[in-house]
Amino acid sequence: MKRLVVLLALFVALPALAATVTYTKVTTYTDGSAIPAAKIPTMSYQVYTGPSLTGPWAAANSGLDVSMLTAPDPVAGGTLWYTVDVSLDGQTSVKAVAVSKSVPFKAPAAPSGITVQ
């Protein structure tokens, strides 16, 4: 029972994967030559999050031959930066130019029931 409680606590403590990071899948090597079609499905993409345009980066999610990955949303009032790299044949690309997402604080509702005498 204690293990279940600990596992549930860890699960609840994890940030929600709500940001959707989309990108164009890679089809060429850095020299401009085409990646063979048979290798495209073996390419692994990794999305990262960080506090600024330059990181530091934390791995968030990965997938094979995908053009969209999910990652944690920023906390209310915060901003997270996102970037992606791709691996093929044991080689990893440089990270893509990072993009950001900000989540504003929610505003309280206006007071109601105002009276004047």
Dump pLDDT digits (tens) for 13-34. Answer: 455 568 999 999 999 999 999 9
What whole-number distance in Å separates Cα of residue 7 and Cα of residue 17? 18
Dump pLDDT digits (tens) for 45-81. Answer: 999 999 999 999 999 999 999 999 999 999 999 999 9
Residue ranges of domains in the chain, CATH in brackets: 16-103 (2.60.40.10)
Query: Of 64, 92, 99, 80, nearest to 17 (Cα)?
Result: 80
What whole-number distance in Å separates Cα of residue 111 and Cα of residue 108? 9
What whole-number distance in Å separates Cα of residue 115 and Cα of residue 77? 33
